[in-house]
Chain A
């Protein structure tokens, strides 16, 4: 007799794994203010987010690709069965899927690309879910905590596939005053969250998830445009090439970092100077200490202005991202 057990479909399961990672990023960022940490592939569910009131968001992610092509209802039932096992500390029980009509509803627009609470379901759909729960023997399932998150996640092209996730990331970064770094942040988070997927029992703290993004933002943060706001010399590329390691290193040296930060904040408070005005007015305060290292006057001026800008921007970025992420 032929063995009916099917071996797991490699591409199907890898797609599911990718989707889980994307869903983790989405849920983490949309709950960032109250999230403390996240565990991908937790003890109970695919995604478990610990909140600052010690409750947890539990999420079950089910992806459908052309290769797996499981139907909506079968996956919904699987998710309900799994979510029913969650402990009582749950803040929400979420079924995440890339089906745009996850409940096979007559009004799919209510659910497509949205997070919808059970209370917001159409009456027919509420009834449907209750029936499934009864059939599955899950009488104690707390529907008051149940939510469905539908995310469009399909296509072979990453730009298309990650469109919704990228939008959430862009919104988070915009809150922190950062533009144009969404794609890099997405790539980094895919790696970080994906890595956590394979680590047993180790959660990813909010700081661990957020700080790598700060690095991406501050990398080459002082571009030619920012430079030309404080310097009329046409030496940006020359200085960046010649003193690359110093431009990178100085803002990381605490003595330098804290000196620039304090002096700028003082000037800002006393004379209401913007960072550009401060740099133009005070770059000469640092002239002596770099005189030996950079004998050429014009190069020195450009260099000092670049590192001052990089240091102040770095501090601003850390601050803004921490506020946007609710890190104290």
Chain B
């Protein structure tokens, strides 16, 4: 279970400014102002930014200029996430975005499946612009996408699907290689048609000392890696031995020796324990000394490489490098025709594999049945069920020509269903962020109906609803925005809400 307790932010490098802080209710949070441009959407995006999603800057607020601290309650424990641009600190651990995004979200949301993590934002957030046009495939916000097929694959999570995805990934990698090769092959064709034999200055064609140094460096890096691995293995062994000992000592076992003496089982009375531990520590120490030595050697080689590079950069003019490149390209065994054939074949295989994955993700997938039932249920409730495929609405949609108001209600039905289904699979209620539920063409009665659905079916979820409508709800927290939330500087930094 994850609850967002509060968020605090201040402009980086300006600690003199008092941080802005917002506390949240565990259930409903209404972010309200009667007019646009007060920062409602920005506040929602700040929360998501604090949760380490890739949220783009708004026209006037650049999130990366702020240090954001978010306090969460994860299974009853307070957890602080400090986000300073791409650097994230969570409980003494430092992470870097975007590489560690999945790792962080796994920890925060308890989701480990990559497909679900890729589509997580789409299940919890309705952006005020893109959010209300996304049904089952498309953009959530910025670079964040939602794909129903991937979401269904994640929900099903079968071994067969994982294998198919791994094969597809491999195919993609090979395809990428072939695409690069094609560019080279085309260039080679051009060279052989125009230049004939390519002559290269002899000195540059000779392997430099650098190659030798790089080889030595590689050997040392491998050695370094081996030592680091062994050090970590011995550290684990020591930890394991210590916990075994702690377990033994906890029971305060006493044994009677043959001579009649009673001895307590402890570190000092366990035969060979201390010797064994001392040797383990020495194993680490020896390797640490060797590691230091190797690091010094690597640093020395790197210096030599830099020097060699400097010498060669004088010899290797841009023109001579280009000459050498041309010579190497001509020698490469790449033929445009063969490569194009291979690319065609790979694309075909990729397409077939994708279709197979899509079919597999829907076959015998109980989650798909549940999802379709939920979508139908909500679309009926909002009287838009006539516009969708009642057999498999979540995958098949052909509703391009619908009016804005109907589309708005459909989006609401689909997206709520995603959140509920993922919550069901996770075994806890995911939060939901809804920005501006009152679309331009949506009548106020429909908005009220949507709010009552949220109150009824999402009573156990943490909700964040930003709107210019005062729903006069007394059952949660009302956060009134008056336009000064992001005024750290002299000029107000606001974006205009729609």
Residues of A in contact with B (beta carbons under 8 Å apart): 207, 211-212, 214-215, 218, 245, 248-249, 252-255, 257-258, 261, 315, 318, 322
Q: B279: which of A249, A252, A255, A258 is its contact (CB, 8 Å)?
A: A252
Please indicate the chain A residues that have their CB under 8 angstroms from the CB of B237 in the complex: 249, 252-253
Residue of A nearest to B275 (CB): A318
Is B282's beta carbon under 8 Å from chain A? Answer: yes
Please indicate the chain B residues that have their CB under 8 angstroms from the CB of A254 in the complex: 241, 244-245, 270, 272-273, 276-277
- Are the C-beta atoms of B276 and A214 separated by less than 8 Å? no
Please indicate the chain B residues that have their CB under 8 angstroms from the CB of A318 in the complex: 272, 275, 279
1/0 contact string of B215-251 vs chain A (CB within 8 Å): 0000000000000011001100100110011000000
- Are the C-beta atoms of A252 and B278 separated by less than 8 Å? no
- Are the C-beta atoms of B272 and A248 separated by less than 8 Å? no
- Given the contacts A211-B282, A212-B286, A255 and B272 also touching, CB distance less than 8 Å: no
Instruction: Give 21 A-B contacts (CB < 8 Å), ordered by A residue.
Output: A211-B275, A212-B282, A214-B279, A215-B279, A215-B286, A218-B279, A245-B229, A248-B230, A249-B234, A252-B234, A252-B280, A253-B237, A253-B241, A254-B245, A254-B272, A254-B276, A255-B240, A257-B276, A258-B272, A315-B272, A318-B279
Is B319's beta carbon under 8 Å from chain A? Answer: no
Known: A245-B229, A257-B272. 5 other contacts (CB 8 A): A215-B286, A249-B237, A254-B244, A254-B276, A261-B271
1/0 contact string of B281-310 vs chain A (CB within 8 Å): 011001000000000000000000000000
**Bound Cα distance A288, B212 (Å):** 49
Q: A245: which of B233, B245, B272, B279 is its contact (CB, 8 Å)?
A: B233
**Bound Cα distance A214, B282 (Å):** 10
Please indicate the chain A residues that have their CB under 8 angstroms from the CB of B240 in the complex: 253, 255
**Bound Cα distance A322, B275 (Å):** 10
Please indicate the chain B residues that have their CB under 8 angstroms from the CB of A322 in the complex: 275
Q: Which of B251-286 contact A (CB under 8 A)?
A: 270-273, 275-280, 282-283, 286
**Bound Cα distance A261, B275 (Å):** 14
Please indicate the chain B residues that have their CB under 8 angstroms from the CB of A212 in the complex: 282, 286
1/0 contact string of B198-224 vs chain A (CB within 8 Å): 000000000000000000000000000
- Taking the closest CB of chain B, its distance from the CB of A15, in whole angstroms, is 24
Residues of B in contact with A (beta carbons under 8 Å apart): 229-230, 233-234, 237, 240-241, 244-245, 270-273, 275-280, 282-283, 286
- Are the C-beta atoms of A258 and B278 separated by less than 8 Å? no
- Taking the closest CB of chain B, its distance from the CB of A249, in whole angstroms, is 6
**Bound Cα distance A258, B275 (Å):** 12
Please indicate the chain B residues that have their CB under 8 angstroms from the CB of A248 in the complex: 230, 233
Please indicate the chain B residues that have their CB under 8 angstroms from the CB of A245 in the complex: 229-230, 233
- Taking the closest CB of chain A, its distance from the CB of B102, in whole angstroms, is 28
**Bound Cα distance A22, B241 (Å):** 37
Please indicate the chain A residues that have their CB under 8 angstroms from the CB of B234 in the complex: 249, 252
- Taking the closest CB of chain B, its distance from the CB of A254, in whole angstroms, is 4
Please indicate the chain A residues that have their CB under 8 angstroms from the CB of B279 in the complex: 211, 214-215, 218, 252, 318
**Bound Cα distance A211, B277 (Å):** 11
- Given the contacts A248-B230, A252-B279, A253-B240, A258 and B286 also touching, CB distance less than 8 Å: no
Please indicate the chain A residues that have their CB under 8 angstroms from the CB of B280 in the complex: 252
- Are the C-beta atoms of B275 and A255 separated by less than 8 Å? no
- Given the contacts A249-B233, A252-B234, A253-B241, A258 and B270 also touching, CB distance less than 8 Å: yes
- Taking the closest CB of chain A, its distance from the CB of B320, in whole angstroms, is 45
Please indicate the chain A residues that have their CB under 8 angstroms from the CB of B230 in the complex: 245, 248
Please indicate the chain A residues that have their CB under 8 angstroms from the CB of B241 in the complex: 253-255
Please indicate the chain A residues that have their CB under 8 angstroms from the CB of B283 in the complex: 215, 252
Please indicate the chain A residues that have their CB under 8 angstroms from the CB of B278 in the complex: 207, 211
Residue of B nearest to A254 (CB): B241
Please indicate the chain B residues that have their CB under 8 angstroms from the CB of A252 in the complex: 234, 237, 276, 279-280, 283
**Bound Cα distance A256, B275 (Å):** 15
Please indicate the chain A residues that have their CB under 8 angstroms from the CB of B229 in the complex: 245
- Taking the closest CB of chain A, its distance from the CB of B291, in whole angstroms, is 15
- Given the contacts A245-B229, A254-B245, A261 and B272 also touching, CB distance less than 8 Å: yes
**Bound Cα distance A322, B241 (Å):** 22
Smallest CB-CB A-B distances: 9 pairs: A254-B241, A252-B237, A252-B280, A318-B275, A255-B244, A254-B276, A253-B237, A215-B282, A249-B233
Please indicate the chain A residues that have their CB under 8 angstroms from the CB of B270 in the complex: 254, 258
- Taking the closest CB of chain B, its distance from the CB of A90, in whole angstroms, is 31
Please indicate the chain B residues that have their CB under 8 angstroms from the CB of A315 in the complex: 272
**Bound Cα distance A257, B272 (Å):** 9
- Taking the closest CB of chain A, its distance from the CB of B355, in whole angstroms, is 36
**Bound Cα distance A253, B240 (Å):** 7
Residue of A nearest to B238 (CB): A252
- Taking the closest CB of chain B, its distance from the CB of A24, in whole angstroms, is 20
Please indicate the chain A residues that have their CB under 8 angstroms from the CB of B276 in the complex: 252, 254, 257
Please indicate the chain B residues that have their CB under 8 angstroms from the CB of A258 in the complex: 270-273
- Taking the closest CB of chain A, its distance from the CB of B270, in whole angstroms, is 7
**Bound Cα distance A315, B279 (Å):** 11
Q: Which of B229, B234, B244, B279 has the most CB of A within 10 A?
A: B279
Please indicate the chain B residues that have their CB under 8 angstroms from the CB of A249 in the complex: 233-234, 237
**Bound Cα distance A315, B278 (Å):** 13
**Bound Cα distance A249, B231 (Å):** 11
Residue of A nearest to B281 (CB): A211
- Taking the closest CB of chain B, its distance from the CB of A183, in whole angstroms, is 17
Please indicate the chain B residues that have their CB under 8 angstroms from the CB of A207 in the complex: 278
- Taking the closest CB of chain B, its distance from the CB of A203, in whole angstroms, is 17
**Bound Cα distance A322, B271 (Å):** 14
- Taking the closest CB of chain B, its distance from the CB of A207, in whole angstroms, is 7
Please indicate the chain A residues that have their CB under 8 angstroms from the CB of B245 in the complex: 254
Residue of A nearest to B245 (CB): A254
**Bound Cα distance A80, B55 (Å):** 81
Residue of A nearest to B273 (CB): A254
- Taking the closest CB of chain A, its distance from the CB of B245, in whole angstroms, is 7
**Bound Cα distance A211, B285 (Å):** 12
**Bound Cα distance A112, B258 (Å):** 53
**Bound Cα distance A146, B383 (Å):** 110
Please indicate the chain A residues that have their CB under 8 angstroms from the CB of B273 in the complex: 254, 258
**Bound Cα distance A252, B280 (Å):** 7
**Bound Cα distance A255, B273 (Å):** 10
Please indicate the chain B residues that have their CB under 8 angstroms from the CB of A255 in the complex: 240-241, 244
Q: Which of B270, B275, B278, B280 has the most CB of A within 10 A?
A: B275
**Bound Cα distance A218, B283 (Å):** 11
**Bound Cα distance A214, B280 (Å):** 11
- Taking the closest CB of chain B, its distance from the CB of A9, in whole angstroms, is 28
Residue of B nearest to A262 (CB): B271
Please indicate the chain B residues that have their CB under 8 angstroms from the CB of A218 in the complex: 279
- Taking the closest CB of chain B, its distance from the CB of A32, in whole angstroms, is 17
Q: Which of A211, A248, A252 has the most CB of B within 10 A?
A: A252
Please indicate the chain B residues that have their CB under 8 angstroms from the CB of A253 in the complex: 237, 240-241
- Taking the closest CB of chain B, its distance from the CB of A253, in whole angstroms, is 6
- Taking the closest CB of chain B, its distance from the CB of A20, in whole angstroms, is 22
